[in-house]
Amino acid sequence: MTDQQIAEPHPVEGGVTSARGFRATGVHAGFRKDPERRDLALVVADEPCACAAVFTQNVFCSAPVTVSREHLEGVGYGTARAVVVNSGNANAATGEPGLEAARETARIAGDAVGCPASEVLVASTGVIGVQLPLAPFGTGLPAAVSLLSAAGGADAARAIMTTDTCPKEAAATFSGDGVGYDGCTFTVGGMAKGSGMIMPNMATMISVLTTDAPVAPNVLHEALVRAVGRSFNKVTVDSDTSTNDSCFLFASGDAAPAGAGAFDPDGPAFARFEAALTSVCETLARMMAADGEGASRLVTVHLAGAANDADADLAARAVANSPLVKTAICGHDANWGRIAMAIGKSGASFRQEDASIDIMGLPVCRGGLAQTFDEDEALRRFEQPEIVIDVDLGAGEAETTVWTCDFTHEYITINGDYRS
Amino acid sequence: MTDQQIAEPHPVEGGVTSARGFRATGVHAGFRKDPERRDLALVVADEPCACAAVFTQNVFCSAPVTVSREHLEGVGYGTARAVVVNSGNANAATGEPGLEAARETARIAGDAVGCPASEVLVASTGVIGVQLPLAPFGTGLPAAVSLLSAAGGADAARAIMTTDTCPKEAAATFSGDGVGYDGCTFTVGGMAKGSGMIMPNMATMISVLTTDAPVAPNVLHEALVRAVGRSFNKVTVDSDTSTNDSCFLFASGDAAPAGAGAFDPDGPAFARFEAALTSVCETLARMMAADGEGASRLVTVHLAGAANDADADLAARAVANSPLVKTAICGHDANWGRIAMAIGKSGASFRQEDASIDIMGLPVCRGGLAQTFDEDEALRRFEQPEIVIDVDLGAGEAETTVWTCDFTHEYITINGDYRS
């Protein structure tokens, strides 16, 4: 392997229990009626370890978000031992009783795991506005503790699903060679759920990530904020933001030699860790976009030539959120006029005579003007599972990538017809 | 009538030729293949008169927007004689040839009407990225001039339609009694088109308004900006903004006595004029929202209790633009959790425990918590053609109203299936 290859993260099969020092499981506790369906996930670190988290900015944030924030001292990082996630009930818009239910969940889990409630983080996903029952935790959490396993990541990933059509897991390793941890292989792994930002009354994107790299809580938080900014925060299924979005990252340090210190946040080992973390988050983020409600296609919008990062983000999101762009992709229509409209209304600064657009590698607009292209070839390229749109504003050097999905009849059916 | 009644605008049947001093028509010129379909509208003032306009903010603005801006001296107001609107081709993303086509359109119209090209305004709606043919203007404009009539407003309103399912006209009168123009009745009338903000490649909301009140160009512009801000700018069908949006307002002064001066912009006659203008714009705006692509319901979002106007607008638009709210209405689902999610993510400042939500007059959320309500009664109320959502953030005194429509399978069909 070249030095460059050694420095890069390596995707591997796995999930939230791939990193050393973590066990997990997913069980049916009773939040859902179907006894075959797992609805309670538990991820536990062997020892209290560094933990960081980021949460929804929605004012209507759920009770578990509030309680998990409290348990991370209000700063988003600290020491923790476990995270409990239930599906089937979001515990959002539930007021003081909801907060008490979330706190009691942490107490029950702490008793079962054998740690203080303050070392337990909680997350919920499901119906909004309905009080969270505690009985399923009372029976489900002790049962889950007895089933915890280093091979339990897949069961946990299934237990956090709502209308997701498939579980979402990813993992990557990176080498410590040449960066002060020779012979060590570190792992970052995780699971996520999310399909619409909020479902037929269902709330949330939730992700739990783990690593066996040695990272201090405060820099773990910084790395997580940056990685989430380049991955989960770049996904938009329907422009809506859940009340329950939560992303947790635990770092056990178990793959480092005993007595080795934490990664220097300015050193090369930390850079490798952050690259691996970002790649895992990006893989999970793309899985979420591809599994968007009713989606038939993953859509990747690459926006270049922006005057600054904020403009790049504005323009890319305007394209990715436009119902007219998303329905055109559903209809296999290389309708670049709608993309031009979207960047034009975005607020990003550019001149139309400098803008270029490619759809699936076909130049469809140059200098703001229509280019003739082979419509049959465009239709063939729309058969691919991932549709790539490249936009260049011609206004600078900033660029970004945003992921979304197409907008189909199935989206309307899932979100509009479920009660009728 | 009470003084209050006298001061208020009175809705009347009519459109762009209801005010004195204007003639109009709509003809088939050949932009569309169907010879039965009118595709060229011409509105002409008997004499050059005060004119004001507002245009799209989209960077990808169309050529006619650029040329009309030039003809209004770049400030959005001045003196003009006529406006030409074609449907079937947006003349957007057409570069220098498109600008020349728009200028030539004004020259042909000026020759036919008998005025300088600089007194002609132009607007186009239709396919983006295709050069605008001039031949239909060469034959259609002289034909249109010969058909101009004070009863031609309805034909003009039909000629500017694209995927609109019905023409959109409105008019209102107001009295000059007691405000310096005793015995005078003034009229404001107009027409509009718009269904999606941008269509299967079709661009635009376009509106032409006229009045026989005497108003100077600069204050006419100020009144138009305010009225559009309270009406057309509060409509959102799909959160997308066209490349061609244009709204023109002509003031002939013909209903005032000969020699009477223009309305004092600080006086009561002007206030009555502005109220009438706003009511006509609001009526047309509601028609546009109700005729949104695939819409089965007009949706009115009334947002109160915001800390300031900007927050009111942010929160109201977040609700009106949310695909999840719009699909819930399509499904007759009083799903207030999605409304809570939308206001929560909007960026407006409030506390969830202060928020209240009513759907069709039913209290569904108080103090951020679910209220029990009669689901059967909610289903009955969803049968109404207009769905009203009332939100109170409990954070201040500012309020606003935004109009949209529901999100249906038909929207996906119109926008996603048209090429397949």
* Interface pTM, i.e. ipTM: 0.74
Asked if residue B2 is part of any domain, the answer here is no
Asked if residue A2 is part of any domain, the answer here is no
| Separation CA A193–CA A235 (nearest Å) | 13
Residue A274 annotated as binding site: no
Give me the pLDDT at residue B236, please.
74
Give me the pLDDT at residue A419, please.
37
Nearest-10 crossing angle of helices A323-330, A336-345: 160
Chain A residues lying within 8 Å of B355, measured CB to CB: 60
Give me the pLDDT at residue A330, please.
86
**Are residues B285 and B351 part of one domain?**
no
Chain B residues lying within 8 Å of A323, measured CB to CB: 238-240, 323, 407, 411, 415
Would you give per-residue pLDDT tens digits along chain B (420 residues)? Answer: 687 888 899 999 999 999 999 999 999 999 999 999 999 999 999 999 999 999 988 888 899 999 999 999 889 999 999 999 999 999 998 999 999 999 999 999 999 999 999 999 999 998 888 899 999 999 999 999 999 999 999 999 999 998 888 999 999 999 999 999 999 999 999 999 986 543 334 446 899 999 999 999 999 999 999 999 888 888 876 555 667 789 999 999 999 999 889 999 999 999 999 999 999 999 999 998 888 877 888 999 999 999 999 999 999 999 998 888 888 888 888 888 889 988 988 889 999 999 999 999 999 999 999 899 998 999 999 999 999 999 999 999 999 999 988 888 877 777 765 433
List strand residue ranges (DSSP E) for B354-415, in order.
Answer: 356-359, 362-366, 369-370, 386-392, 398-405
**Are residues B333 and B219 part of one domain?**
no
Please identify among residues 220-249 of chain B the ones whose CB lies closer than 8 Å to any CB of chain A: 238-243
Q: How many CB atoms lie within 10 A of CB A210?
A: 33
Domain of residue A368, CATH code: 3.10.20.340
SS3 at position A36: coil
**Are residues A308 and A282 part of one domain?**
no
Chain A residues lying within 8 Å of B60, measured CB to CB: 340-341, 343-344, 352, 355, 368
Q: How far is CA B317 from CA B20, B300, B339, B345, B411, in A?
A: 37, 11, 11, 11, 19
Mutate to test the interface with B, among A327, A364, A419 (most CBs of B within 10 A): A327
Residue A382's closest chain B neighbor by CA? B420
Chain A residues lying within 8 Å of B200, measured CB to CB: 335
Would you give per-residue pLDDT tens digits along chain A (420 residues)? Answer: 787 888 899 999 999 999 999 999 999 999 999 999 999 999 999 999 999 999 988 888 899 999 999 999 889 999 999 999 999 999 998 999 999 999 999 999 999 999 999 999 999 998 888 899 999 999 999 999 999 999 999 999 999 998 888 999 999 999 999 999 999 999 999 999 986 543 334 446 899 999 999 999 999 999 999 999 888 888 876 555 667 789 999 999 999 998 889 999 999 999 999 999 999 999 999 998 888 877 888 999 999 999 999 999 999 999 998 888 888 888 888 888 889 988 988 889 999 999 999 999 999 999 999 899 998 999 999 999 999 999 999 999 999 999 988 888 877 777 765 433
**Are residues B349 and B208 part of one domain?**
no
| Residue A314 near residue A234, CB atoms below 8 Å | no
Nearest to residue A406, comparing CAs of A335, A347, A357, A303?
A: A335
**Are residues B139 and B29 part of one domain?**
yes
Give me the pLDDT at residue B64, please.
96
Determine whether the interchain pair B411/A321 forms a contact, defined as Cβ–Cβ distance below 8 Å: no
Picking from B256, B291, B326, the residue at the C-terminal end of a domain is: B291
Domain of residue A186, CATH code: 3.60.70.12
Determine whether the interchain pair B324/A417 forms a contact, defined as Cβ–Cβ distance below 8 Å: no
Among A127, A324, A369, select the one facing B415 at the smallest CB separation: A324
| Separation CA B77–CA B69 (nearest Å) | 9
Asked if residue B302 is part of any domain, the answer here is yes
Picking from B229, B257, B291, the residue at the C-terminal end of a domain is: B291
The residue written with tokens 């410590």 in the block is A176
Nearest to residue A294, comparing CAs of A203, A408, A209?
A: A408
Asked if residue A28 is part of any domain, the answer here is yes
Asked if residue B5 is part of any domain, the answer here is no
**Are residues B254 and B386 part of one domain?**
no
Determine whether the interchain pair B337/A413 forms a contact, defined as Cβ–Cβ distance below 8 Å: no
φ, ψ for residue A10 (rounded to 5)?
A: -115, 115
**Are residues B161 and B91 part of one domain?**
yes
Give me the pLDDT at residue A121, please.
98
Q: In angstroms, what separates the C-alpha of A140 from chain B's closest C-alpha?
A: 27
Catalytic residue, from B17, B56, B204, B210: name it.
B204
Please provide the size of chain B in residues: 420
Say which residues have a Cβ less than 8 Å from residue A253's Cβ, sequence separation at least 6. A21, A49, A50, A212, A213, A214, A215, A260, A262
| Separation CA A191–CA A288 (nearest Å) | 11
Asked if residue A3 is part of any domain, the answer here is no
Provide the token pair at B18.
């209801």
Residue A293's closest chain B neighbor by CA? B324
Chain A residues lying within 8 Å of B196, measured CB to CB: 324
Tell me the pairing of strands B386-392 and B77-89. Answer: unpaired
| Residue B28 near residue B143, CB atoms below 8 Å | no
Determine whether the interchain pair A198/B341 forms a contact, defined as Cβ–Cβ distance below 8 Å: yes
Give me the pLDDT at residue A163, please.
81
φ, ψ for residue B277 (rounded to 5)?
A: -60, -45
Torsion of CA B29, B32, B35, B40, to 10 degrees: -30
**Are residues B255 and B340 part of one domain?**
no
**Are residues A347 and A324 part of one domain?**
yes
Could you list the residue range(s) of the whole structural domain that residue B364 is in? Answer: 298-417
Determine whether the interchain pair A420/B332 forms a contact, defined as Cβ–Cβ distance below 8 Å: yes
Give me the pLDDT at residue B410, please.
79
Picking from A225, A259, A291, the residue at the C-terminal end of a domain is: A291
Among A94, A95, A333, select the one facing B419 at the smallest CB separation: A333
The number of distinct structural domains making up chain A is 2
DSSP calls for A230-274: HTGGGB-SSS---SS-EEEEEE--TTSPTTPPPPPTTSHHHHHHH
Asked if residue B83 is part of any domain, the answer here is yes
Dihedral of alpha carbons A318, A321, A322, A324, sign: positive
**pLDDT 10s digits, B62-112:** 999 999 999 998 899 999 999 999 999 999 989 999 999 999 999 999 999
**Are residues A400 and A371 part of one domain?**
yes
Q: Does any CB of chain B come closer than 8 Å to the CB of residue A369?
A: yes
**Are residues B257 and B110 part of one domain?**
yes
**Are residues A361 and A236 part of one domain?**
no
Please identify among residues 90-109 of chain A the ones whose CB lies closer than 8 Å to any CB of chain B: 92-95
Asked if residue B1 is part of any domain, the answer here is no
